[in-house]
Structure 1
Amino acid sequence: MNKHITIGIAGHRSHGKTTLARCLTALDQKCNILEKNSNFSIQVAISEFYVMPEIRAALMDVPGHPRLLKSAIRGLSAVDFCILVVAADDGIMPQTIEHIKIINHFKVGDGVVVISKTDLVDQELMELAELEIHDAVQHTVFSGKPVIRFSATDSSGKENLLSCIRKAIETIPGKNPDAPFRMWIDEAIGAPGFGTVACGTVISGTVSQDDPLSLLPLNRETRARSLEVHHRKAAAAFAGQRVGINLPKISLKEVQRGMVIVKQKPENLFVFLNAELTADATIKNLQRVKLYLGTSVSNARVTLMDQPLLSPGQTGLVQFRLNKPLFAVPRDSFVICGMNTQTVIGGGLILEAAKEKFRAAKSSRMIPYLQALKSGDLRMAIQYYLSNHARRLVDRKELFEYTGFSSQATRRIISGLINESEIISCDNETLLLKETYAALAMKLQQAVEAVLSTDPLKKAVGRDEIRKAVDLPVDDALLKYMLDDLCRLNRIVKVKGGYIIAGFAAILNVAQQKMADILMNYAWESGLSSFSAGNYCRVINPDFKKNETQKILDFLHEQGKLIRLSNNHFLNAEALAEIKRRVRKAIDEKGSFRMTDSLDILGYGRSKAAPVFEYLDEIGFTRRQGDERRLADGN
Structure 2
Amino acid sequence: MAETYYTIGMAGHIDHGKTALTKALTNIDTDRLKEEKERGISIEPGYAPLKTEDGTHVSIVDVPGHEKFIRQMIAGVAGIDLVVLVVAADEGVMPQTEEHLEILQFLGIKRCIVAISKIDRVDGEMLELVEEDIRDRLVGTIFEEAPYILVDSLSGKGIEELKTAISQQLKQVALRDAYGSFRLPVDQVFSVQGQGTVVRGTIYEGAVQKGSQLTVLPKGLSVKARQIQVHNEEQEAARAGQRTAINLGGIEREEISRGDVLVTSDHFLVTDTIDIALKLVDRPFIPLKQRAPVKIHTGTSEVMGRIVFFDRNELAASKKEVLCQIRLDEEIVVRRGDRLILRRPTPVETLGGGWVIQPKGGKYRFGAETVAKLEKIKEGTPVDLLADILQKYIVLDFKELIQHTSLDEAALKEAIGEALSKGILLEIAGQRYSLLNSFSKLTDELKERLTAFHEAFPMRPGPGKAELIQGFSAVYPKPFIEYTLDQAAKDGGLKKADQFIALGSFEPHLPKQWKARMEQIVAALQKDGLQTGKWDSYTTGTPIPKQELLDLTFYLLETGQAHRLTEDVLIHHTALDQSAAELKAATGQAFTLKEAKDVLGVSRKYLIPFLELLDRLKLTVRTDEERKWTEI
TM above 0.5, yes or no, is yes
Map of 2:375 onto structure 1: 371
Distance, in Å, in 2 between the alignment partners of 1:28 and 1:381 is: 44
1:326-341 correspondence to structure 2 within 5 Å: 326-341=332-347
Decide which of 327, 339, 363 is 1:357's aligned counterpart: 363
Map of 1:302 onto structure 2: 307
| Residue pair 1:372, 1:378 contacting (<8 A) in 2 also | no
Which residues of structure 1 form unaligned runs of 5+? 383-395, 432-635
1:305-316 correspondence to structure 2 within 5 Å: 305-306=310-311, 309-316=315-322
Decide which of 324, 341, 348 is 1:318's aligned counterpart: 324
| Residue pair 1:373, 1:403 contacting (<8 A) in 2 also | no
1:415-438 Cα offsets, whole Å, 9 max, x none, are 84574599632897669xxxxxxx
1:219-277 Cα offsets, whole Å, 9 max, x none, are 11122122111111111001011111122111100010110001112475221101111
1:369-389 Cα offsets, whole Å, 9 max, x none, are 54345446434668xxxxxxx
Residue 125 of structure 1 and its aligned partner are, at CA, apart by: 1.9
Q: Decide whether aligned partners of structure 1 residues 246 and 419 sit closer, same or farther in structure 2, where only a CA change above 3 A counts.
A: same
Decide which of 425, 436, 441 is 2:423's aligned counterpart: 425
Distance, in Å, in 1 between the alignment partners of 2:64 and 2:173 is: 25
Residue 180 of structure 1 and its aligned partner are, at CA, apart by: 0.9
Say whether 1:172 aligns with 2:177: no
Distance, in Å, in 2 between the alignment partners of 1:348 and 1:398 is: 20
Map of 1:400 onto structure 2: 391
Secondary structure in structure 2 of the residue aligned to 1:36: helix
Say whether 1:288 aligns with 2:293: yes
Distance, in Å, in 1 between the alignment partners of 2:347 and 2:148 is: 31
| Residue pair 2:181, 2:265 contacting (<8 A) in 1 also | yes
Distance, in Å, in 1 between the alignment partners of 2:233 and 2:271 is: 36
Map of 1:212 onto structure 2: 213
| Residue pair 1:35, 1:41 contacting (<8 A) in 2 also | yes
Give the AA of the match of 2:300: T
Percent pairwise identity = 29
| Residue pair 1:15, 1:85 contacting (<8 A) in 2 also | yes
Decide which of 354, 357, 368 is 1:348's aligned counterpart: 354
Which residues of structure 2 form unaligned runs of 5+? 427-434, 438-632
1:66-465 correspondence to structure 2 within 5 Å: 66-266=67-267, 269-280=270-281, 281=285, 282-306=287-311, 309-360=315-366, 364=369, 367-368=371-372, 370-375=374-379, 377-379=381-383, 400=391, 408=401, 416-417=414-415, 419=417, 424-425=422-423
Q: Decide whether aligned partners of structure 1 residues 374 and 138 sit closer, same or farther in structure 2, where only a CA change above 3 A counts.
A: farther
1:11-67 Cα offsets, whole Å, 9 max, x none, are 000111111011001112222222222332222110111123431111110111111
Secondary structure in structure 2 of the residue aligned to 1:71: helix
Secondary structure in structure 1 of the residue aligned to 2:130: helix
Give the AA of the match of 1:125: M
More displaced, 112-121 or 350-359?
Answer: 350-359
Map of 2:545 onto structure 1: none
Map of 1:554 onto structure 2: none
Secondary structure in structure 2 of the residue aligned to 1:72: helix
| Residue pair 2:185, 2:261 contacting (<8 A) in 1 also | yes
Distance, in Å, in 2 between the alignment partners of 1:40 and 1:190 is: 24
Distance, in Å, in 2 between the alignment partners of 1:338 and 1:296 is: 16
Residue 360 of structure 1 and its aligned partner are, at CA, apart by: 2.1
Give the AA of the match of 1:316: V
Residue 327 of structure 1 and its aligned partner are, at CA, apart by: 1.0
Distance, in Å, in 2 between the alignment partners of 1:301 and 1:403 is: 34
Distance, in Å, in 1 between the alignment partners of 2:190 and 2:378 is: 39
Map of 1:517 onto structure 2: none
Q: Decide whether aligned partners of structure 1 residues 48 and 430 sit closer, same or farther in structure 2, where only a CA change above 3 A counts.
A: closer
Distance, in Å, in 1 between the alignment partners of 2:424 and 2:179 is: 28
Tell me the TM-score normalised to structure 1 length: 0.61
Give the AA of the match of 2:298: L
| Residue pair 1:381, 1:403 contacting (<8 A) in 2 also | no
| Residue pair 2:344, 2:351 contacting (<8 A) in 1 also | yes
Residue 340 of structure 1 and its aligned partner are, at CA, apart by: 2.2
Distance, in Å, in 2 between the alignment partners of 1:263 and 1:194 is: 22
More displaced, 158-167 or 328-337?
Answer: 158-167
Map of 2:33 onto structure 1: 32
Residue 278 of structure 1 and its aligned partner are, at CA, apart by: 0.5
| Residue pair 1:9, 1:85 contacting (<8 A) in 2 also | yes
Q: Decide whether aligned partners of structure 1 residues 63 and 173 sit closer, same or farther in structure 2, where only a CA change above 3 A counts.
A: same
Map of 1:524 onto structure 2: none
Map of 2:501 onto structure 1: none
Secondary structure in structure 2 of the residue aligned to 1:90: coil
1:151-175 Cα offsets, whole Å, 9 max, x none, are 2232111122112111111111132
Distance, in Å, in 1 between the alignment partners of 2:390 and 2:37 is: 50
Give the AA of the match of 2:33: N
Map of 1:57 onto structure 2: 58
Distance, in Å, in 2 between the alignment partners of 1:42 and 1:187 is: 12
More displaced, 107-116 or 290-299?
Answer: 107-116
Distance, in Å, in 2 between the alignment partners of 1:359 and 1:303 is: 11
| Residue pair 2:199, 2:248 contacting (<8 A) in 1 also | yes
| Residue pair 2:49, 2:59 contacting (<8 A) in 1 also | yes
Count matched residues.
416
More displaced, 151-160 or 102-111?
Answer: 151-160
| Residue pair 2:110, 2:143 contacting (<8 A) in 1 also | no
| Residue pair 2:6, 2:57 contacting (<8 A) in 1 also | yes
Give the AA of the match of 2:117: S
Distance, in Å, in 1 between the alignment partners of 2:413 and 2:58 is: 39
Residue 95 of structure 1 and its aligned partner are, at CA, apart by: 0.5
| Residue pair 1:351, 1:403 contacting (<8 A) in 2 also | no
| Residue pair 2:120, 2:152 contacting (<8 A) in 1 also | yes
Q: Decide whether aligned partners of structure 1 residues 25 and 375 sit closer, same or farther in structure 2, where only a CA change above 3 A counts.
A: same
Distance, in Å, in 1 between the alignment partners of 2:385 and 2:115 is: 42
1:351-383 Cα offsets, whole Å, 9 max, x none, are 11124123226x53x54554345446434668x
Distance, in Å, in 2 between the alignment partners of 1:69 and 1:152 is: 24
| Residue pair 2:229, 2:244 contacting (<8 A) in 1 also | yes
More displaced, 226-235 or 147-156?
Answer: 147-156
Give the AA of the match of 1:108: I
